[in-house]
């Protein structure tokens, strides 16, 4: 079929032959005859041919899908119309055929779209994403090229429906989810009402219906997480979504797994075995290898694991010379940061650091500086017997001053050692000038140095002097050895002996725990030694990290050697994950339900991901509470929960990490005052996930209380608390549960059986906070809350070295310890009593007392007003005396030692300055002249050689005075 212009008109309208001279149509292709001829397949037409009638002729226009146009001018109208209609008919037939060729795929997409308007199953991303992908390809290749004219109104309406889905896929999916839940809630009401003894809460029901690629249920303390995960498994079976063999229910402990298995079979009548990660991994290995390798004896026993670490250290000390040096060096001083007074601007900050570091020597005493520690441990290692801060053999102090105690005295030779905290700078004339730390009075310190020299010269005793500048110059121990050589001959102790002494004095335990935690993270995370060393360098962890890694590398090699073909839990998980990833194990599981997800380690997380990846429609359903993540020492990595979507989520509509978070919110345990206080406390760390808390009930009685204790009255104070609880239960008719909690096992009261006999109406038990997880009681009493390295918060848990084997370190101070405190608080239904140390109050207790929003009732045994120590800037703590009065002591008792008696009028208060008047007033109303020389003192009447005068209450420490008026 051909169309061409009328002869004369065509020549007039197209004299140069730019427009087509003719167009032939044959076999679904248009052949354009022009100066630049071309062939146009009918498939490439953007529209049907367009005919425009003119006065003497018509124009035929062909629009191509590349945007170009071909126009033939001067044709007879009848020819143009016939030609155009023929091409149009073939074009529509061609496009309709193309569309119908894709009919199966199109119908499948349309069915999904229809299902979204009336959903019968949860529209998970993994189910919808393939449909969306097919629709996108189909639209690009075909649908976007089809107009209403090309296929007709009926087909075009189907195209519009698919394109509407492409443009609004996420919104349509969200509406479908909401609609499905509205339909399913009443349908499954009977199941939700009867699955447990009490009906499930609205939040629990929604979490069970949620079936995203990755669903995270935030289950706060006492919110019924076990009910949710078991009901989820039951729902999947009862609804026919999954067969029991397609569901993997994972728990961390055998007891928890057994409980869940029994509950599901009882409620659903279907056997479904909940498994631990390790039993699953062991089974995977058995399937792939045909048999299961022997398990290391320590794999299931933490005590045995730590004992093995300790034994390997002992072996290395005996057999590896260089490593033994590193091990003993660690206990000598490498374990510490090694800061000096010059790193601090305030004396209080320095003292706080020293107390936190626990500067304990190999011989067992605590010293006052890192440099003193170096000296003491050098003496001990070299068999030179010494005394630390002994009384000087001659009486030299008078006037009430403390007796002189040199830093060290060598027992054999009687030589004394004084370590002077001075550095030196060279002056312009070539001499040296001594300098002191920023918070030290230089002149006073230098006077003290001279006084000590004079004392020894006067009494003809030998004094060896060491200096801070010697350490600054890297020669402190070398200089010490040279100075001691004329008086005593070193007799070095063997490293084996030194290590045994360290173990005997329990100084190795924290190091063994650190290595054990590090090893599990290192192995479970698949780290390499070089990687850790590089990270230590980038993080500027310094010599401490280098010392640690120099021990860890050979220790790890020996640990692996001692496995002797057996496997530990880390091997088990890693090997199983590898088999799954490589496809050597084919997983039947399409729903993976994980309990206590906050405790998951990186290696366990990898295993879950590998299992999920084997099926395109597999889901992960995790239940956990990041506020209760307290097992970092066992390898857990809280970052997996915080980045849950990124780690386990799906892909949909251009977004990755698609997941859903359901907040249970409601607690069945704690009253409002406990629940809200615990939430506020744990959320001080902004990295914790925020969630709703709906308490189990309300109370008008204070539910949190602090009882301040001293070393001598802690047991009696505990009995007073128990006596009060026992009295409160008199009319209740049932026994009341009381849970005593300690940060460490050794805090258990020694007289626990006696307490149970003394208070028969109370069901008293003791647990460590970690072992109490999952438990609850009417009343919780937290024991021995004090500040210190092994106090609470523990200052040895969040060791910076662990950041070398963690993807992201937690920058928030005491991050995990804060969660441990949250766990402790939320064990209680009705009250929490915090047995705080009056002398070394826990930072957590102080925080709770300082903020009125916590509603904590503070101990009223002593003056709670904050007083600052004028000597170092620390806090002055009030201590009651037997006669009912009070005296005050600096919180840094061993380092500062400042003490002060209370107001002589009331015997309890501490006079404070009032403006610039120079007067100090006590809360009892008594008024005194402030001491002109010291910050804390005030003047009291004294009598001297020349009669009465006003002298400082701190005499003879302070000699401030003025004339009596």
* DSSP character string of 654-723: TEEEE-EEEE--B-SS-BHHHHHHHHHHHTTSTTSPP---B-SB--SS--EEEEEE-TTTHHHHHHHHHH
What is the pLDDT averaged over residues 523-532? 89
What does the pLDDT read at residue 452? 95
What does the pLDDT read at residue 492? 94
Render pLDDT for 540-554 as a digit per residue (tens, 0 to 9): 888 999 999 999 999
Q: Could you tell me which residues come within 8 angstroms of residue 400 by beta carbon, excluding any fewer than 6 positions away?
A: 955, 956, 957
What does the pLDDT read at residue 265? 85
Mean per-residue pLDDT of the chain: 91
Q: Are 391 and 455 in contact (CB under 8 A)?
A: no
Render pLDDT for 805-824 as a digit per residue (tens, 0 to 9): 876 667 788 888 999 999 99
Write 717-720 long-range contacts (CB < 8 A, 24+): 717/835, 718/749, 718/755, 718/781, 718/783, 718/835, 719/755, 719/758
What is the pLDDT averaged over residues 387-404? 81
What does the pLDDT read at residue 795? 75
Of 80, 47, 41, 78, the residue nearest 62 (C-alpha): 47
Render pLDDT for 178-223 as a digit per residue (tens, 0 to 9): 999 999 999 999 999 999 888 999 999 999 999 999 999 998 888 8
What does the pLDDT read at residue 250? 95
What does the pLDDT read at residue 401? 56
Judged against a pLDDT cut of 90, whether residue 659 lies above it is answered with: yes
What does the pLDDT read at residue 808? 66
Render pLDDT for 579-593 as a digit per residue (tens, 0 to 9): 999 999 999 999 999
Judged against a pLDDT cut of 80, whether residue 791 lies above it is answered with: yes
CA–CA separation, 826 vs 775, rounded Å?
A: 9
- Report the range out of 6-10, 333-337, 695-699 with the highest average pLDDT: 695-699
What does the pLDDT read at residue 809? 65
Following CA atoms 841, 845, 849, 853 in sequence, which dihedral angle do they give, to the nearest 10 degrees?
A: 170
Confidence grade of residue 647 (pLDDT, cut at 50, 70, 90) = very high
What is the pLDDT averaged over residues 111-139? 94
Instruction: Calculate the alpha carbon distances from 756 to 250, 652, 737, 760 in Å.
Output: 38, 60, 11, 6
What does the pLDDT read at residue 398? 57
Confidence grade of residue 787 (pLDDT, cut at 50, 70, 90) = confident
What is the pLDDT averaged over residues 302-309? 92
Region of poorest pLDDT, from 214-223, 533-542, 795-804: 795-804
Render pLDDT for 464-477 as a digit per residue (tens, 0 to 9): 999 999 999 999 99
SS3 state of residue 88: helix
Element (H, E) at 424: strand 423-426
CA–CA separation, 174 vs 168, rounded Å?
A: 10
Judged against a pLDDT cut of 60, whether residue 123 lies above it is answered with: yes
Of 559, 60, 571, 648, the residue nearest 285 (C-alpha): 571
What does the pLDDT read at residue 225? 87
What does the pLDDT read at residue 336? 86
Confidence grade of residue 145 (pLDDT, cut at 50, 70, 90) = confident
Render pLDDT for 148-171 as a digit per residue (tens, 0 to 9): 988 989 999 999 999 999 999 999
Concatenating the DSSP letter of every residue in 153-173 gives HHHHHHHHHHHHHHHSHHHHH
Angle, helices 321-329/542-563, rounded to nearest 10 degrees:
130
Region of poorest pLDDT, from 126-130, 728-732, 923-927: 728-732
Judged against a pLDDT cut of 80, whether residue 298 lies above it is answered with: yes
Confidence grade of residue 247 (pLDDT, cut at 50, 70, 90) = very high
What does the pLDDT read at residue 863? 46
Instruction: Calculate the alpha carbon distances from 183 to 70, 116, 189, 385 in Å.
Output: 57, 13, 11, 82
Render pLDDT for 863-904 as a digit per residue (tens, 0 to 9): 456 789 988 999 888 888 878 888 898 988 889 989 998 998
What is the pLDDT averaged over residues 242-261? 91
What does the pLDDT read at residue 864? 54
Angle, helices 302-319/509-524, rounded to nearest 10 degrees:
100
What does the pLDDT read at residue 862? 44
Q: Are 589 and 617 in contact (CB under 8 A)?
A: no
CA–CA separation, 17 vs 768, rounded Å?
A: 97
What does the pLDDT read at residue 638? 87
What does the pLDDT read at residue 920? 92
Q: Look at 809 and 963; give whichever has higher pLDDT.
A: 963
What does the pLDDT read at residue 356? 82
Q: Are 740 and 767 in contact (CB under 8 A)?
A: yes
The verdict on whether omega for the bond into residue 369 sits within 30 degrees of 0, i.e. cis, is no
What is the model's pTM?
Answer: 0.80
What is the pLDDT averaged over residues 21-48? 91
Q: Give the tokens for residue 787.
A: 């500040």
């Amino acid at each position: 079929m051909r169309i061409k212009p009328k002869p004369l008109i065509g020549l007039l309208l197209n004299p140069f032959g730019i427009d087509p001279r003719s167009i032939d149509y044959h076999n679904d292709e248009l052949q354009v005859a022009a100066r630049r001829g071309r062939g146009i397949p009918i498939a490439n037409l953007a529209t049907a041919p367009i005919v425009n009638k003119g006065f003497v002729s018509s124009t035929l226009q062909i629009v191509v899908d590349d945007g170009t146009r071909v126009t033939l001018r001067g044709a007879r109208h009848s020819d143009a119309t016939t030609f155009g209609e023929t091409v149009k008919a073939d074009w529509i037939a061609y496009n309709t055929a193309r569309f119908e060729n894709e009919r199966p795929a199109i119908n499948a997409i349309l069915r999904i779209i229809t299902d979204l308007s009336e959903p019968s199953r949860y529209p998970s991303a993994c189910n919808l994403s393939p449909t969306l992908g097919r629709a996108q390809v189909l639209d690009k290749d075909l649908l976007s090229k089809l107009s209403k004219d090309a296929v007709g109104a009926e087909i075009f309406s189907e195209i519009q429906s698919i394109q509407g889905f492409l443009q609004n896929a996420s919104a349509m999916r969200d509406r479908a989810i909401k609609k499905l839940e509205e339909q399913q809630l009443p349908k499954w009401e009977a199941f939700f009402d009867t699955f447990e003894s009490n009906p499930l809460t609205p939040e629990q029901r929604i979490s069970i219906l949620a079936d995203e690629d990755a669903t995270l249920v935030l289950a706060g303390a006492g919110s019924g997480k076990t009910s949710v995960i078991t009901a989820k498994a039951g729902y999947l079976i009862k609804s026919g979504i999954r067969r029991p063999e397609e569901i993997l229910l994972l728990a961390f402990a055998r007891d928890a797994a057994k409980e869940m298995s029994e509950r599901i079979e009882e409620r659903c009548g279907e056997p479904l075995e909940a498994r631990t990660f390790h039993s699953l991994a062991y089974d995977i290995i058995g399937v792939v290898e045909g048999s299961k390798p022997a398990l290391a004896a320590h794999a299931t026993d933490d005590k045995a694991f730590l004992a093995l670490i300790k034994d390997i250290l002992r072996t290395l000390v005996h057999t590896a010379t260089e490593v033994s040096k590193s091990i003993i060096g660690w206990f000598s001083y490498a374990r510490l940061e090694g800061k000096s007074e010059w790193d601090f601007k305030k004396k209080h900050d320095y003292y706080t650091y020293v107390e936190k570091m626990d500067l304990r020597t190999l011989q067992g005493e605590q010293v006052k500086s890192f440099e003193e520690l170096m000296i003491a441990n050098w003496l001990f290692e070299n068999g030179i017997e010494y005394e630390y801060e002994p009384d000087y053999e001659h009486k030299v102090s008078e006037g009430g001053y403390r007796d002189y105690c040199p830093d060290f005295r060598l027992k054999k030779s009687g030589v004394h050692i004084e370590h002077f905290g001075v550095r030196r700078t060279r002056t312009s004339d070539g001499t040296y000038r001594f300098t002191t730390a920023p918070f030290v009075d230089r002149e006073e310190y230098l006077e003290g140095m001279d006084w000590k020299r004079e004392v020894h010269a006067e009494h003809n005793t030998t004094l060896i002097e060491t200096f801070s500048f010697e350490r600054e110059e890297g020669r402190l121990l070398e200089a010490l050895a040279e100075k001691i050589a004329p008086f005593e001959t070193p007799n070095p102790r063997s490293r084996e002996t030194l290590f045994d002494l360290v173990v005997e004095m329990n100084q190795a335990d924290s190091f063994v725990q650190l290595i054990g935690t590090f090893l599990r993270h290192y192995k479970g995370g698949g780290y390499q030694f070089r990687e850790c060393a590089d990270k230590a360098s980038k993080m500027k962890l310094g010599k401490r990290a280098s010392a640690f890694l120099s021990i860890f590398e050979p220790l790890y090699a020996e640990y692996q050697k001692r496995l002797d073909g057996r496997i530990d839990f880390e091997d088990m998980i890693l090997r199983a994950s590898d088999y799954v990833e490589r496809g050597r194990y084919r997983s039947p599981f399409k729903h993976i339900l994980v309990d206590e997800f906050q405790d998951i380690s990186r290696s366990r997380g990898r295993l879950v991901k590998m299992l999920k990846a084997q099926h395109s429609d597999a889901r992960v359903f995790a239940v956990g509470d990041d506020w209760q993540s307290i097992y970092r020492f066992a390898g857990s990595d809280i970052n997996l929960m915080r980045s849950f979507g990124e780690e386990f989520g799906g892909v949909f509509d251009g977004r990755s990490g698609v997941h859903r978070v359901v907040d249970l919110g409601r607690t069945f345990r704690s009253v409002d005052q406990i629940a809200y206080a615990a939430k506020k406390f744990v959320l001080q760390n902004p990295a914790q996930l925020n969630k709703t808390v709906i308490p189990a009930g309300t109370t008008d009685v204070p539910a949190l209380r602090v009882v301040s204790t001293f070393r001598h009255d802690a047991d009696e104070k505990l009995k007073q608390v128990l006596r009060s609880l026992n009295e409160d239960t008199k009319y209740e008719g049932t026994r009341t549960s009381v849970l005593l909690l300690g940060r460490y096992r050794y805090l258990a009261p020694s007289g626990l059986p006696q307490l149970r006999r003394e208070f028969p109406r109370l069901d008293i038990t003791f647990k460590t906070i970690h072992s109490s997880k999952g438990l609850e009681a009417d009343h919780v009493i937290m024991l021995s809350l004090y500040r210190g390295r092994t106090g609470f918060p523990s200052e040895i848990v969040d060791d910076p070295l662990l950041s070398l084997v963690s993807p992201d370190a937690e920058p928030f101070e005491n991050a995990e310890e804060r969660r441990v405190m949250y766990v402790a608080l939320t064990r209680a239904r009705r009250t929490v009593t915090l047995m705080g140390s009056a002398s070394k109050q826990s930072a957590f207790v102080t925080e709770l007392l300082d903020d009125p929003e916590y509603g904590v009732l503070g101990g009223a045994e002593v003056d709670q007003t904050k007083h600052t120590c004028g000597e170092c800037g620390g806090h002055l703590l009030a201590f009651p005396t037997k006669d009912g009065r009070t005296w005050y002591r600096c919180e840094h008792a061993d380092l500062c030692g400042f003490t002060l008696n209370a107001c002589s009028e009331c015997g309890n208060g501490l006079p404070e300055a009032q403006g610039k008047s120079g007067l100090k007033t006590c809360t009892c109303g008594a008024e005194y002249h402030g001491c002109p020389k010291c910050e804390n003192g005030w003047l009291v009447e004294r009598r001297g050689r020349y009669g009465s005068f006003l002298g400082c209450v701190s005499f003879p420490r302070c000699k401030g005075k003025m004339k009596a008026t």
